[in-house]
Amino acid sequence: MTSNEIGELFVERFAQMPTLVAAAPGRINLIGEHTDYNGGFVFPAAIDLGMLVAALPTQGPSEMYSKQTGEGAPFRANTVEKDECKSWSRYPAGMAWALREIGPLDDLLAVVDSDIPLGSGVSSSAALEMAFGVLWNHHCGLGIQPKELALLGQKCENGFVGVQSGIMDQMACAMGRAGCAMFLDTRSLEIRYAPIPDELSIVLCDTGKPRALTDSAYNERRSQCEEASCILGVPMLRDATLEMLEQSSAQMSDVIYRRARHLIPENARCLAFAGALERADFAELGRLMRQSHESLRDDYEVSCKELDAMSEAAWNSPGCVGARMTGAGFGGACVALARKESINEFCESMLAGYRAATGLVGEASACRAADGARIVEP
């Protein structure tokens, strides 16, 4: 999809030319899963599966159309309140709600087109938030820096949409850099960009199984982590060590113990991954990704048989450096790092292995690390 095509779609819809176009990427997370609401480390990359939004300021209410999901409920950018907006346009409406504290907004006519799969753990929701964020920021001269925009996106998702997500998705979408993954400390919001070696491809391996139970299970995991940190006497699990966990294990249930036993080493794995990527130590990258998957499967219990089968199929395929589930879990996608020179064999073998194990048809997309959300020429 190009900005010309989104322009044509806009003209079809509204019989006027758009004056603004924004682009926003999806994201994968190489390692560091469920750590972002525990003050820990994550290692995402924005990818070249992305979203375009064409827009034109209007006097009337904001009206939105998505090529993927159709018409959204109209809303007034300066007055819309939570619960008023039920359709997918609650994401742009929520961004308006978060942004208007900085300055008054114009309403927008807008058209969305995206090749980020919805609800597969590649963060289509953050892309939608950041695309509208950069549109309003640019058009209304709000002067918001990308990091602050990411925080406002999280505020939208937490306070308006009602999903208690961490900051990783919006930071990756707002601050991604072409060719690089980003080591992100979710407590300080400090980023270290890490070039992805030329000989590697990021492969998004979609199980085709929509996520289920995500919100309730996600919120349950969050409160289990809070319980664990409370017993361990630390502000967040980021601050705990495995020694502390062993010393206090008698004071907690087996479930709480295992949740912490995923999170504490997951932070260490994320740090180790940064070092291994720098040294191009592919064996270590693979080992860490596999450990992360197994820990999410056995201790954190957010995998499912499709994600397990997909990871397993990837591990057994030629050219695989590493693979694991990515995103919140319970369906969605795995992420793999594979050698570019064997990318076709890798994808073919991985999909065949997945199909043999589950009877399901998965999908593999080789991606490149991309830039964050931005205004593009209309």
Residues near ligand ADP (CB under 6 A): 66, 68-69, 88, 91, 112, 114, 118-125, 128, 327
Query: Which residue, 123 or 317, has its beta carbon nearer to Mg ion?
Result: 123
- Closest contact distance (angstroms) between CB of 125 and ligand ADP is 3
- Which helix (H) or strand (E) segment holds residue 334: the answer is strand 333-339
Q: Cβ distance 326 to 29 under 8 Å?
A: yes
Structure-token pair, residue 363: 């999908």
Structure-token pair, residue 362: 């998965």
Residues in touch with Mg ion (CB under 5 A) = 123, 125
- Closest contact distance (angstroms) between CB of 115 and Mg ion is 16
Dihedral of the alpha carbons of 114, 119, 121, 127, in degrees to the nearest 10: 40
Out of Mg ion, ligand ADP, none, what residue 68 binds, judged by CB under 5 to 8 A for its kind, is: ligand ADP
Query: Which residue, 128 or 236, has its beta carbon nearer to ligand ADP?
Result: 128
Question: Residue 189's closest CA among 229, 225, 153?
Answer: 153
Out of ligand ADP, Mg ion, none, what residue 118 binds, judged by CB under 5 to 8 A for its kind, is: ligand ADP
Query: Which residue, 163 or 376, has its beta carbon nearer to Mg ion?
Result: 163
218 CB-near residues (< 8 Å, 6+ apart): 163, 164, 165, 328
- Which helix (H) or strand (E) segment holds residue 45: the answer is strand 44-58
Out of Mg ion, ligand ADP, none, what residue 47 binds, judged by CB under 5 to 8 A for its kind, is: none
- Closest contact distance (angstroms) between CB of 162 and Mg ion is 12
Query: Distance between CA 364 and CA 351 in Å, rounded?
Result: 7
What letters, b where the CB count within 10 A reaches 16 and e where it falls short, cover 310-335?
Answer: bbbbbbebebbbbbbbbbbbbbbbbb
- Closest contact distance (angstroms) between CB of 123 and ligand ADP is 4
Question: Is 169 marked active-site?
Answer: yes
Query: Which residue, 35 or 229, has its beta carbon nearer to ligand ADP?
Result: 35
Active-site choice (169, 206, 299, 308): 169
Q: Which residues are catalytic?
A: 169
